[in-house]
């Protein structure tokens, strides 16, 4: 996920890891002896391996290639079909010409799919980028939350669908490369899609699903983009949230383009973006597997699996709208976050721990007061939107 500004603390860890390969007991497409729910034990080995020192922060070869290979092998193991031209699981992303005149490979997207039944020509794409920041000298950026957490979700959701009865629409599972470099992998995919883009009925992506916003006491997954297509709000509201998980819909304009939905949004393809939000370890060497909330990753994975199933079997598909509707719930969600921030700051101050600076506290309090007034009024108008967007972005910049 792209960031607003950067902090680089120091950290070293030395455990070598090998790719776990006995994860999938289910035969591809056969009967699945595993429980229906995706469990913490399912997602954990993926995250531990992808965030291990062996993969060197998945920013360059060979570490990044090991990650791509791992995902490719899992896709093949669970019985997905290769997604790209020429029967490959890889979509090579060309870079500059090298001396020999050859085109250097800048990266590779990894993709597999499952044919649907009667609406096979319509596609639901589920994605999660696998690249991260790499290493600098002896310091590497594990990227456990960004974005090994969502790659684990992608692999386990794909496994569940591959082991079950095919839905009506086809499902494509794509792990993009080069998200950390201006979304280059998803831009390349949209410019070179395996099928005409109008056949893509919904694009779903996740980025950071294994922690909480600002390490706040939240078990919330934010879902962005449902306001941008008719039918998506109902789809999310019809999907029961797994126990212990709170689902909060927010307008994508509150955060801007932060991940691989960007190029799809530009093509006006309906999309959903799932994230539990930034935290102090984001884009630092402290984003390690040990700090991941594995039960939350499993809960979010089960939620996304249900959303995919509903979208793949629904009679109709979401329709893009250029006039998104916004609701007071968004204001309630952001207001609640300001309350949590101030409550934590009170506790920090009482315990003589470093908390918010005076300016940060002043900013957060101001936003809380302003949002409180809107909540009292109980309605939100289009005219309110610009100031709500400013408040949300100021909050993200100030407190996270």
Closest by Cα among 244, 129, 103, 117 to 181: 129
Q: Which CB atom, from 127 or from 370, has the smaller least distance to Zn ion? A: 127
The whole-angstrom separation of Cα 139 and Cα 256 is 30
Q: Which is nearer to Zn ion, 283 or 368 (CB)?
A: 283
CB of 1 to Zn ion, least distance (A): 4
| Shortest Å, Cβ 293 to Zn ion | 17
Residue, CB closest to Zn ion: 1
| Residue 178: closest CA among 102, 96, 260, 112 | 260
Nearer to Zn ion, 26 or 254 (CB): 254
Rounded to the nearest angstrom, the gap between the alpha carbon of residue 363 and the centroid of all alpha carbons in its chain is 28
Nearer to Zn ion, 211 or 326 (CB): 211
Q: Would you say 270 and 356 are in contact if contact means Cβ atoms under 8 Å apart?
A: no
Query: Judged by CB, which is closer to Zn ion: 1, or 162?
Result: 1
What 8-state DSSP symbol labels residue 144?
Answer: I
CB count in 10 Å sphere of residue 115: 12
Binding site for Zn ion (CB under 5 A): 1, 146-147, 207
Output 1 or 50, the one with its CB closest to Zn ion: 1
**Residue given tokens 């019809």 in the structure block:** 238
Output the smallest distance, CB 207 to Zn ion, in A.
4
- Distance, CA of 342 to CA of 52 (rounded, Å): 35
Closest separation between CB of residue 157 and Zn ion, Å? 18
| Residue whose CB is less far from Zn ion, 183 or 216 | 183
**Residue 256: which of 229, 231, 225, 226 has the closest Cα?**
225
What's the token pair of residue 65?
């290639």
The Cα–Cα gap between 214 and 150 comes to 18
Per the CB < 8 A criterion, the answer to whether 338 and 322 are in contact is no
Upper half-sphere CA count for residue 116 (Cβ side, 13 Å) = 21
Closer Cβ to Zn ion, 204 or 364, answer by number: 204
CB of 132 to Zn ion, least distance (A): 7
Residue 40 · residue 294 · CB < 8 Å: yes
Enumerate the H helices of the chain as residue ranges.
Answer: 40-50, 63-77, 149-163, 184-191, 232-238, 261-266, 294-313, 328-350, 358-377, 385-399
The neighbouring-strand residues paired with 248 are 222
Q: What's the min distance (Å) between Cβ of 42 and Zn ion?
A: 21
Residue 207 or 330: which CB sits closer to Zn ion? 207
């Amino acid at each position: 996920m792209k960031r607003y500004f950067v902090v680089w603390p120091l950290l070293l860890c030395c455990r070598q890891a090998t790719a776990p390969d006995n994860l999938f007991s289910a035969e591809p497409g056969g009967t699945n002896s595993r429980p229906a729910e995706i469990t913490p034990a399912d997602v954990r080995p993926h995250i531990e391996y992808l965030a291990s020192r062996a993969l060197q922060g998945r920013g360059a070869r060979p570490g990044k290639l090991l990650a791509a290979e791992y995902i490719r092998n899992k896709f093949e193991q669970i019985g997905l079909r290769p997604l790209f031209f020429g029967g490959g699981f890889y979509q090579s992303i060309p870079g500059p010409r090298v001396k020999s005149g050859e085109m250097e490979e800048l990266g590779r997207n990894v993709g597999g799919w499952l044919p649907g039944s009667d609406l096979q020509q319509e596609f639901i794409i589920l994605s999660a980028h696998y690249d991260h920041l790499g290493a600098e000298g002896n310091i590497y950026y594990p990227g456990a939350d960004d974005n090994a957490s969502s790659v684990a979700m992608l692999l386990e959701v794909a496994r569940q669908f591959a082991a079950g009865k095919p839905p009506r629409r086809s499902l494509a599972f794509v792990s993009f490369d080069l998200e950390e470099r201006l979304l280059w992998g998803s831009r390349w995919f949209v410019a070179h899609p395996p099928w005409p883009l109008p056949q893509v009925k919904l694009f779903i992506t996740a980025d950071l699903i294994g922690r909480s916003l600002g390490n706040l006491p939240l078990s919330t997954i934010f879902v962005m983009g449902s306001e941008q297509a008719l039918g998506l709000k109902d789809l999310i509201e019809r999907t029961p949230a797994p126990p212990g998980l709170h689902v909060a819909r927010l307008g994508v304009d509150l955060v801007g383009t932060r991940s691989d939905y960007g190029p799809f949004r530009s093509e006006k393809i309906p999309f959903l973006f799932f994230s539990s939000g930034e935290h102090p370890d984001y884009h630092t060497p402290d984003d390690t597997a040990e700090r991941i909330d594995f039960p939350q990753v499993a809960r979010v994975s089960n939620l996304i699996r249900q959303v995919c199933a509903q979208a793949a079997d629904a009679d109709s598909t979401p329709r893009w709208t250029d006039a998104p509707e916004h609701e007071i719930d968004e204001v309630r969600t952001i207001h609640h976050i300001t309350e949590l921030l101030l409550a934590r700051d009170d506790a920090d101050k009482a315990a003589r721990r470093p908390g918010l600076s005076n300016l940060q506290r002043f900013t957060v309090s101001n936003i809380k007061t302003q949002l409180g007034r809107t909540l009292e009024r109980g309605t939100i108008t289009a005219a309110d939107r610009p100031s709500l967007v400013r408040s949300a972005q100021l909050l993200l910049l100030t407190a996270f």
